[in-house]
Amino acid sequence: MGTEALLAELREALGKDAVLTDPDITHGYSRDMMPLAPAGRPLAVVLPADVEGVQATVRACAQAKVPIVPRGAGSGLSGAANAIDGCVMLVTTKLDRILEIDPANRLAVVEPGVVNLALRQAVEREGLFYPPDPSSYDWCTIGGNLSTNAGGLCCVKYGVTTDSVLGLEAVLADGSLLKTGRRTVKGVAGYDLAKLFVGSEGTLGVITKATVALRPLPQAPGTLVAGFATTEAAGEAVTRVVREGLVPSLMEIMDATSIKAAESYLNTDLGAGSDCQALLLCQSDSGGEAAQRELAALEKICLECGSTMAYATDDLAEGKMLLETRRVVLTALEQYGIWLTDDVCVPRTRIAELIAECRRISEETRLRIAVVGHAGDGNMHPTIVYAPDSEDEFARARQAFDDILAVTMALGGTVTGEHGIGKVKREWLEREIGPVGLRVHRRIKRALDPDNLFNPGSMFSR
Amino acid sequence: MGTEALLAELREALGKDAVLTDPDITHGYSRDMMPLAPAGRPLAVVLPADVEGVQATVRACAQAKVPIVPRGAGSGLSGAANAIDGCVMLVTTKLDRILEIDPANRLAVVEPGVVNLALRQAVEREGLFYPPDPSSYDWCTIGGNLSTNAGGLCCVKYGVTTDSVLGLEAVLADGSLLKTGRRTVKGVAGYDLAKLFVGSEGTLGVITKATVALRPLPQAPGTLVAGFATTEAAGEAVTRVVREGLVPSLMEIMDATSIKAAESYLNTDLGAGSDCQALLLCQSDSGGEAAQRELAALEKICLECGSTMAYATDDLAEGKMLLETRRVVLTALEQYGIWLTDDVCVPRTRIAELIAECRRISEETRLRIAVVGHAGDGNMHPTIVYAPDSEDEFARARQAFDDILAVTMALGGTVTGEHGIGKVKREWLEREIGPVGLRVHRRIKRALDPDNLFNPGSMFSR
């Protein structure tokens, strides 16, 4: 089947409006938010509105031997959803129904195009909580969250996306519909295919439905902010928090560069003093006296580790404002240029070393690097700033990006904590998992997708 | 290679004492605790003491085309570790070292032969907690727990084994060593192969090492026991507990048959009255006032649902004694005959219906069926009692076992909550996951184990 015949078949199956081929329009779907990852030109963008439309697209593309790149909202940071030349971009945003919320069994059944925030708000009305909260939660979709096994600020207490998934439906390379997992809390009937598909970055099939576990809505959080004169002291505080068995609902770290950027952007003074090299932001959502006890214990540890400023509040607006300084960092860095954010995870005891290494890399590459991250789980986002029109700075930014990955591996960490491998870290996957791991990946890919239909060349090459 | 040459090679590689062939001895390794599952006669039992021994065994068996059945302590309840005729039983109990406990990063690295209780006790000395607690925790091994994705009483609050696994090493069918997962809290580099191996019941490889996440040691638990005049009332209480967002650290249910068996065995009166049809046992490990608040909220719900007796205590010995009534049920049933325990999981709102259906099946098959289970997650263990020397009763027990699975599926549940498919529920796996799901299982099995070396015919047939 030629491409014209394919397009005709897709239009026939999905309707004309669901098949876009105007390059000016399809170009807008060809990239996610990771500037380093390559992106090709799609043959077409299709927007099926139901599972049958997804199956028809998969069958038609399989027959025409045209690769499919599944894509949600495009908020990804690894290029996993970037186009490859001549592909069909299968965009799942029209599959956007919340099919069921079952409060008595604490679960929801959703289509992949549901925006994370929409699900959060819908279940909150039932007194329930869907934990995964990537920074893009107000526009990223559940389908993308599943495909990347997205994390967020909640992970230190509530885990990542895979921890909330009970069951999945996915369209396979032959167009058949795999139903895997369950609606029950526990279940061990067969291989855990749901957790295999979570984080597989669109290389094994197209997720069309998910059953997710919900939690009781936590209490309104109390917030602690603590400033440190050295990153080592802040790192020591994180280690002590973990060691002493505390589980805050949020524990974020900002280095000096991040603090300055946020203060400048928000035109505020965080009161940390000019010698502040690191901030820790912690929350407890345990409510009432339990939260007060947790925050007091966190504050005590910070002070014992030499915090020069520690301030706790149970005022919600104030807590939100403090958290805002963390949330704006990437936007704030746009004062200085374009940002390129990395995503690594180190053992929680090695955070200060990672920040020190990032400072060294910043000096070597002569680029601003701000480190923010989820201190509670060691997932750091060193963010490199470069000038938009300088090829030289772009090349140095790319160097810094890779140097940070090498440093992370030397610290016993992983090259991606929550953003994924995608099209930007392919060679790093092999470095991390080794030849045996890569061989298993290839065998599983070949077993489920023998003709390399789904997102070929993403994550790893066949 | 003939079997004699294989045995010679295994003796050469592992040492004579690590290769057992005396049928009187190997017979003792040929069965787990599930009487319904078929068991064959092993060619040999091998007990490697290190990963190289496992690799040597796998390579030799692959060359000789002799199947391998991996086995831990043999506490399983699905026949997954039962021998098949002419196989080599690869027993991992000698790989029993706790290699590392890292309190500052809250993780441990263990070999598969470590007994669950030994790991619990070792980490408890560091103020840490390894949650998965199957009933056989004092003799089952971590390797078996991983292979079956074991659960226990802890799951309602702390999840199942897969939720505690960060990384694994496993010997593959070609003898190579797969290292997958990580030491960090988060990580999304490639497919989640660790969670694919967890629960794969020895069909994909031999797990030789695991990195597990630990939690802070919970507070000593407070306990609540509540009696109900109907199972419906107890079921309603469970639904209300879930609906109102409570997360007890334990919530077990016992039906009238279980209560009577336990009371008779322990020669005690639980004070629930002669009309008591169901008991709920709940615990809170939140400590202090938080625990008191949780237990009070649980008690209030029980009373509002018509509990005829509710009693809460923060006395540890008393709590342990109350829990003992739940723990002894299977042993207590041996007063009446041999027990055959089933393992199903239903949505938490359907527990009372399941118990009612079990009562109907009990009447139809004229066999005593006691229902105990993890009410907090819907994982029920209807346990059938039959006379040891009656073929007719055994046949009816088998019928009851299957009827319970059919009823569970009709209630939207799964045919196994935590024991696994093994060699006893193979036909039920297909009924639950359907032909597409089964096809994917076969493809993954073939991709990783092309010559069907590991546990062939267990879980599903090729």
Interval A223-239: pLDDT, tens:
999 999 999 999 999 99
At B57 the three-state DSSP class reads: helix
Across the interface, of B105, B286, B378, the residue whose CB is closest to A347 is B105
Instruction: Tell me which chain B residues have a C-beta less than 8 angstroms from the C-beta of A149.
Output: 188, 192
Q: What is the pLDDT of residue B268?
A: 87
- State the residue for tokens 């010698």: A275
In Å, how far is A11's CA from the nearest CA of chain B? 28
CA distance B168 to B183: 10
Per-residue pLDDT band at A389 (split at 50, 70, 90): very high
Q: What is the pLDDT of residue B42?
A: 98
Instruction: Using an 8 Å CB-CB cutoff, list chain A residues near B189.
Output: 414-416, 421, 425, 428-429, 432-433
What's the pLDDT at A312? 96
Domains in chain B: ranges and CATH: 3-91 (3.30.43.10), 98-216 (3.30.465.10), 218-329 (3.30.70.2190), 336-453 (3.30.70.2740)
Looking at CA atoms only, how far is residue B439 from chain A in angstroms? Answer: 9
Cβ within 8 Å, pair A195-B195:
yes
Q: Is A190–B433 a contact, with Cβ atoms under 8 angstroms apart?
A: yes
Q: Where are the alpha helices (DSSP H) in A125-246?
A: 142-148, 155-158, 193-197, 231-243
Beta carbons of B436 and A179 less than 8 Å apart: yes
Alpha-carbon span A402 to A404, nearest angstrom:
5
**Nearest neighbour of B348 by CB, restricted to A105, A247, A414:** A105
Residue A317 phi/psi, 5-degree rounding, is -65, -40
Average predicted confidence (pLDDT) for chain A: 96
State residue A117's pLDDT score. 98
For the question of an ipTM over 0.95, the answer is yes
Q: Which residue of A has its CA nearest to B348?
A: A105
**For B243, nearest residue in chain A (alpha carbons):** A104
Q: Scanning every residue of chain A, which has its alpha carbon at the shortest distance from the alpha carbon of B441?
A: A191
**Measured between alpha carbons, how far is A106 from B241 in angstroms, rounded to an integer?**
11
What is the token pair recorded at A192?
Answer: 């855990």
Nearest to A76 by CA among A139, A17, A126: A139
Residue B34: helix, strand or coil by DSSP? coil
> Sorting pLDDT into bands at 50, 70 and 90, what band is A369?
very high
DSSP state of B133: B
Q: What is the pLDDT of residue A410?
A: 98
* Contact at CB, B414 and A184, closer than 8 angstroms: yes
Compute the distance between CA of residue B383 and CA of residue B165 in angstroms, rounded to an integer: 30
Neighboring chain A residues of B186 at a CB cutoff of 8 Å: 151, 155, 160, 345, 374, 377-379, 414, 417-418
Q: What is the mean pLDDT of residues A84-113?
A: 98
Q: What is the mean pLDDT of each run of 10 residues along chain B (462 residues)?
A: 94 98 97 95 98 98 98 98 98 98 97 98 97 96 98 94 98 98 96 98 98 96 97 97 95 97 91 87 93 96 96 95 94 96 97 98 98 97 96 97 98 98 97 98 98 97 85
In this complex, the residue of A348, A414, A419 whose CB is nearest that of residue B182 is A414
> Between A103, A160, A246, which is nearest B186 by CB?
A160
Given a cut of 80, whether residue A272 has pLDDT beyond it is no
Residue A462 is predicted with a pLDDT of 80
